[in-house]
Amino acid sequence: MFRSLVLGSVAFLCAAVLATAAAASSDSATSPSGAFSISVTYPDVIVAGTTATASEQLTNNTATPKTFTVSNTLSGSNGKTLTHTQVVTVAAFTQTFSKKANASDVGSYTLTFTADDRSETATALAHYSVVKR
């Protein structure tokens, strides 16, 4: 699973591949000045064998496009951690990613989504579990 996450990280949502169509939750954060905000939508529980979908959004609340460093860090109950970082210049940016969760993915995960514009940072967290059928 962790190897496939690294390969899927081109979309910078690599850390969220375990999200699914189950009951979804979300977390959001705004930079201290309100200049930008981020959000993550994800499920609380994923059943192995189902297709998982996650979404992340970065919104620039200023009048001009800004450059951001966006990072995803996935920490699993198996002790492994993966991080993917990307630099984007945007006014608003949304990405989704879907992947089938496997039985070998059973466990608990924390996704940390961070955006930084070189002067301030916002961080949103997603906690979810992959369970057997």
Residue 24: which pLDDT band, with cuts at 50, 70 and 90? Answer: confident
- Tell me what pLDDT residue 85 has: 93
- Tell me what pLDDT residue 93 has: 82
Helix (H) or strand (E) run with residue 15 in it: none
Total tally of structural domains belonging to the chain: 1
How large is the average pLDDT for residues 63-86? 90
How large is the average pLDDT for residues 52-81? 90
Phi, psi for 3 (deg, rounded to 5): -65, -45
- Tell me what pLDDT residue 23 has: 67
Q: State how beta strands 107-116 and 24-30 pair.
A: unpaired
Which tens digit of pLDDT belongs to each residue from 81-110? 888 899 999 888 888 877 788 898 899 988
Residue 53: which pLDDT band, with cuts at 50, 70 and 90? Answer: confident
Q: What is the mean pLDDT of the chain?
A: 81
For 63, counting Cβ atoms within 10 Å of its Cβ (0-12 exposed, 13-18 middle, 19+ buried), the class is: exposed
User: Residue 98 in contact with residue 86, Cβ under 8 Å?
Assistant: no
Which tens digit of pLDDT belongs to each residue from 103-133? 988 999 888 999 999 999 999 998 889 999 8
Spatial CA neighbour of 23 closest among 37, 44, 38: 44
Inter-CA distances, 112 with 15, 21, 79, 109, Å: 8, 20, 15, 10
For 60, counting Cβ atoms within 10 Å of its Cβ (0-12 exposed, 13-18 middle, 19+ buried), the class is: buried
How large is the average pLDDT for residues 33-42? 93
CATH assignment at residue 36? 2.60.40.3880
The residue range of the domain holding 125 is: 2-131
